[in-house]
Structure 1
Amino acid sequence: MDDPTDAGQTVCVSPATGEEIGRSALNTVADVCGAVERGRTAQAAWAALTVKERAKRLKPLSAWLTAHADELAGTISKDNGKTRTDALAAEVLPAALAADFYCRKANGFLKDRRLMPGTLFMASKAAKIARVPYGVIGIISPWNYPFAIPFSEVVMALLAGNAVILKAASETQLVGRAIERCFSALALPAGLFTHINMPGGAAGPAFLEAGVDKLFFTGSVPVGKRLMALAAETLTPLVLELGGNDPMLVCPDADLQRAVAGAVWGGLQNCGQSCGGVERIYVHRSVYEPFVAALGDAVRRLRIGVDTDHQVDLGAMTTVKQMQAVEQQVAAAVAAGAVVAAQSDPPAGNRGNFMPARVLTGVDHTMAIMREETFGPVLGVMAVEDMAQAVALANDSDLGLTASVWTRDAREGERLARQIRAGVVMINDHLMSHGLPETPWGGFKQSGLGRTHGAVGMAEMTQVQCLVHDYLPGIRRNLWWHPHGPAVYRGLRGIMEMRYGRGVGKRMKGLASLAWIVPRMFTSDIPKGTTSTDRK
């Protein structure tokens, strides 16, 4: 059963064995409101610290993660179903790298930025951009990367001076509790970080009702749209990462060995449950047959099962519901003419959520498996006549999270990448940019709004405040201040004529009109001899 509850608790069940592995107490809307209120109180003092002081408090994170790496990888594996190696490589290790990176870079990302004057006439106005924390950030995280996705967002939000309320996925509550232990080990003010457990459909409305100042959501497109509609009522800003149907383009000069290995990892690790994973592959016809043959061999060799000794490549699907959705897409594609060209063998006689990894050929864009997010261990492969056709097919989707281009020609790879409508495009790699803390993560079209990670992601944790000083000494009033009159009008127009007028005469006339009203800047009273109809 997915997400079972019992007497106010979520019952955590291993996707690989079907056994109960723990329980997590459920929270109410009142609990969320209380957490936001406590977070707001704690945030005021936290934001008063310098960024360097906040980074010092968070600096022990990487060492803590390292000391508990095996425990965390084991918890993620049991709760989500992925292998421990996958959990370590794609979740714990990136989290440790991210914590170190953001603690080192936060001060630079968040420092005030001075703006150069845009025009000589306003050069006395010195402006700068300051980054102001929102207050209380709400984060709703998914079950496919239950540790890595929320972890970086929590770290960035805290470094930026916010309090955080985290709602971890109901399906992976043990991981949510592990994140809670991680941040509890730090010397943070009480109430600054709170983990909440409640059903997914109730969490977003509860966060918005409680008054979070910004909401980060990772999940499906339909849920993201509903949250956006709810947030519109209070104009609560959102960052949405809503999934993808990511293309992989294989050029005729690609290193096929690397491309095949990249497709297997980028498309099938975590049992294909990656919003930024490879789902559809477009291969130049000249290398299509050898590519498909090599891909089939690699997929057939994948070992699927319970991870007891690190001797399996793929673990279990996280939920039965997702297994059923994948099977429906595969069955519909096969009924429409697709062929299962290769598949791996799941373990026999096991009660876990195991399913084969598959390669489909004979697919086209009339099939849902090539148009919609599959979120499972399936790779659809199509031959293309040229790479222009591959780009067109890659863009034939209402999703645009990530993509990849595989070629030995770096310049050609980037040329093609720039034509793909996706938030991240990698050349000769796929998916792993989520583990690069310096790179922004997010998509085009219905893949979401906003970005996480890197300097861009850190900026999402703050509001922009512009500060403007007037440093010119002796000025009593600006040229356009009251009282007004014809001379003031002519002088202001003279600024435009002096700068943009056609011909020397026009510009000199503008200069004279401006010079006539400059003295009024140094007086606070109406100059003597000025009539009411011609005040300077």
Structure 2
Amino acid sequence: MAGAVPDLTPADVAAMAARLRSAQPAWEALGARGRSTHLLRWLDWLLDNERRILTLVQQETGKSWADASMEMAVVIDVINYFTKHAEGFLADRKVKPAGPANSVRRLRVQVRPHQLVGLITPWNGPLAGPMMDVAGALVAGAAVLCKPSEVTPLAWSEAVRGWNEEIGAPPVLGCVTGGGAAGAAVVDQVDMVMFTGSVRTGRAIAVRCAERLIPCSLELGGKDAFIVLADADIERAAGAAVWGGMTNSGQACVGVERVYVESAVYDEFVALVTAKVKALRQGMDAPGSFACDIGAMVTAAQVAIVTDHVNDAVDKGARILCGGEPGTEGNFFEPTVLVDVDHSMTCMREETFGPTLAIMRVADAEEAIALANDSEYGLSSSLWTRDRGTADRLSRRIEAGSVSVNNALVATFQMPIPMGGWKNSGLGTRFGGANGVLKYCRQQSVVEERFSLKSEPLWYPVLPAKARLISRAARLLGAHDWRRRLGLRARR
């Protein structure tokens, strides 16, 4: 496909940021309900233009139509969830005073949005990725400066154009296009950064945010483990592993990358997975046809990474049961199953981000947990057992931000609970109910006096009699036994 966007300079980004800042106070003044009205109007426009926008997604990524259409489903869920709950999430919170001395005061916590939020997103979800964060920031009252990947900027640029030109929304959403310099300029202009992408870039952004003393939330890479115990529903587990590992051609930070299967069911599981992977239909189908299961990869560079991981595994003793080769045309890589793998192999240590499943036999749950935790990443995970007690016990030992029990990937899209990574997989969380909005806000404490007195006991001047009385009252009200309350000396 042909398409072009401008490569904005830091000066261009600064000018856009200034325009957004000037529009933000009026946007905040609309209140949660008023802002939600515009978001819902945007959703209507996106749905009215669904085929055209998803065609852009497909053309710039090589996704199957099924994978492209999933992005609109995410858009629908996110906008509906945050607009439905915005008023409650942003409401003032009344707090009970602590201690008798403060009983004469009213306490509350109110929130104000960061004026300008920066949102930087990767190439694997051009529409859904930004929307997972922008809805919460907009409904919070912030203006948002978005930076989509330079690899896939077209669909999100069109979505932002719809906001600014088609629905009559206030000009509080901007789209920065360009390369790394444009992204760095976004970080330099905003008051809070939400970044999704690589560990290397995330670290650099975190350092710059620390220098500027602004908050950031980082959702970084993953190497998610999938643990299958002997009592699991093996047919269902095999289907979930294939879907979790192959969806979006494996280009999902929460995709299944490492599979650990108890020895008693290993052979059955591997046979089922291999048959299901061989049956996958790969290609780029016509819009609306749903004729393929998975599509191409987004970049030739990512195909090369997957090829290197597979070749490294084979060189170190792994076997390929199906797939294992890049396509002859385009950015395709065959859906691949690897067995006889171990942790000396790159495919078990580094993020592959491609349509591969590496399956390892383990003796028991203890070995599976130890291997699952033997990683610098800790984003998501999956645990398979019919025993709820076992699931509860083992889930508390997995070092990852989320655990899907008897399913795959689903914990990522549950908006009432947080989605975030441990270890090198990130900092902060996405979603999490009210946190999905409040993360874009600053908390402000308000203390109001119930009674207007001429003076306060602690105000100047310091009078010995008054000071001694206050000290005795503090001891009387705060100590936990009568000897200390009365200030009596301990017997020796």
1:33 deviates by: 0.3
Report 1 or 2 for greater relative contact order, CA contacts < 8 Å, sequence distance ≥ 6: 2
Question: Match for residue 377 of structure 1?
Answer: 355
Q: Does 1:157 align with 2:137?
A: yes
Distance 1:503 1:357 in 2: 71
Q: Does 1:236 align with 2:217?
A: no
Distance 1:240 1:399 in 2: 13
Q: Does 1:455 align with 2:434?
A: yes
Question: Match for residue 70 of structure 1?
Answer: 51
1:377 deviates by: 0.9
1:198 deviates by: 0.8
* Runs of 4+ residues deviating >4 angstroms: 344-347
Q: Does 1:43 align with 2:24?
A: yes
Q: Does 1:340 align with 2:320?
A: yes
Q: Which deviations, in whole Å up to 9, do the C-alpha atoms of 1:455-499 show, x marking residues without a partner?
A: 22211111111111111x253333322222443443343244323
Contact 2:381 2:402 in 1 (8 A): yes
Contact 2:254 2:379 in 1 (8 A): yes
Q: What 5-or-longer segments of structure 1 have no aligned partner?
A: 1-19, 511-536
Contact 2:7 2:182 in 1 (8 A): no
Question: Match for residue 373 of structure 2?
Answer: 395
Contact 1:247 1:403 in 2 (8 A): yes
1:503 deviates by: 4.2
Distance 1:415 1:72 in 2: 44
Distance 1:503 1:257 in 2: 63
Aligned-residue Cα RMSD (Å) equals 1.9
Question: Match for residue 207 of structure 1?
Answer: 186
Which AA in structure 2 matches 1:93? A
Task: Indicate which of 153, 160, 175 corresponds to 2:155.
Answer: 175
Alignment of 1:357-368 (within 5 A): 357-368=335-346
Alignment of 1:87-102 (within 5 A): 87-89=68-70, 91-102=71-82
The DSSP-based 3-state class of the residue aligned with 1:382 is: strand
Q: Which deviations, in whole Å up to 9, do the C-alpha atoms of 1:121-162 show, x marking residues without a partner?
A: 211222111111100111111100111110131111111111
Could you tell me the TM-score, scaled by structure 1's length?
0.86
Distance 1:328 1:107 in 2: 50
Q: Does 1:318 align with 2:286?
A: no
Contact 1:452 1:458 in 2 (8 A): no
Q: Structure 1 residues 491 and 342 mapped into 2: Cα distance closer, same or farther (>3 Å)?
A: farther
Distance 2:297 2:163 in 1: 28
Q: Structure 1 residues 152 and 182 mapped into 2: Cα distance closer, same or farther (>3 Å)?
A: farther
Could you tell me the TM-score, scaled by structure 2's length?
0.94
Question: Match for residue 529 of structure 1?
Answer: none
Q: Which deviations, in whole Å up to 9, do the C-alpha atoms of 1:84-141 show, x marking residues without a partner?
A: 111112x101111111111111111111111112222211222111111100111111
1:29 deviates by: 1.2
Contact 1:94 1:436 in 2 (8 A): no
Distance 2:48 2:395 in 1: 39
Bigger CA drift: 239-248 or 149-158?
149-158
Bigger CA drift: 125-134 or 306-315?
306-315
The DSSP-based 3-state class of the residue aligned with 1:493 is: helix
Task: Indicate which of 182, 189, 194 corresponds to 2:170.
Answer: 189
Distance 1:371 1:410 in 2: 30
Task: Indicate which of 454, 464, 468 corresponds to 2:447.
Answer: 468
Which AA in structure 1 matches 2:27? W
Alignment of 1:371-520 (within 5 A): 371-453=349-431, 454-471=433-450, 473=451, 475-501=453-479, 503-508=481-486
Contact 1:305 1:346 in 2 (8 A): no
Q: Which deviations, in whole Å up to 9, do the C-alpha atoms of 1:482-521 show, x marking residues without a partner?
A: 22244344334324432354643543569xxxxxxxxxxx
Which AA in structure 2 matches 1:85? A
Q: Structure 1 residues 474 and 435 mapped into 2: Cα distance closer, same or farther (>3 Å)?
A: closer
Question: Match for residue 136 of structure 1?
Answer: 116
Alignment of 1:277-316 (within 5 A): 277-308=255-286, 309-316=289-296
Q: Which deviations, in whole Å up to 9, do the C-alpha atoms of 1:313-350 show, x marking residues without a partner?
A: 11001000011011111111111111112338877x5x
Q: Does 1:227 align with 2:208?
A: no
Q: Does 1:124 align with 2:108?
A: no
Which AA in structure 2 matches 1:466? S
The DSSP-based 3-state class of the residue aligned with 1:317 is: coil
Question: Match for residue 270 of structure 1?
Answer: 248
Q: Structure 1 residues 503 and 85 mapped into 2: Cα distance closer, same or farther (>3 Å)?
A: closer
Contact 2:317 2:341 in 1 (8 A): yes
Contact 1:273 1:377 in 2 (8 A): yes
Contact 2:9 2:181 in 1 (8 A): no
Which AA in structure 2 matches 1:139? L
Question: Match for residue 81 of structure 1?
Answer: 62
Which AA in structure 1 matches 2:19? R
Which AA in structure 2 matches 1:432? V
Distance 1:506 1:439 in 2: 45
Alignment of 1:52-71 (within 5 A): 52-71=33-52
Contact 1:177 1:195 in 2 (8 A): yes
The DSSP-based 3-state class of the residue aligned with 2:152 is: helix
Contact 1:127 1:467 in 2 (8 A): yes
Q: Structure 1 residues 298 and 494 mapped into 2: Cα distance closer, same or farther (>3 Å)?
A: same
Bigger CA drift: 161-170 or 300-309?
300-309
Q: Structure 1 residues 320 and 121 mapped into 2: Cα distance closer, same or farther (>3 Å)?
A: same
The DSSP-based 3-state class of the residue aligned with 2:151 is: helix
1:273 deviates by: 0.5
Distance 1:423 1:187 in 2: 39
How many pairs are equivalent? 484
Q: Does 1:250 align with 2:228?
A: yes
Q: Which deviations, in whole Å up to 9, do the C-alpha atoms of 1:189-248 show, x marking residues without a partner?
A: 23x11111111x213321133x21111111100111111122222112111111110001
Which AA in structure 2 matches 1:205? A
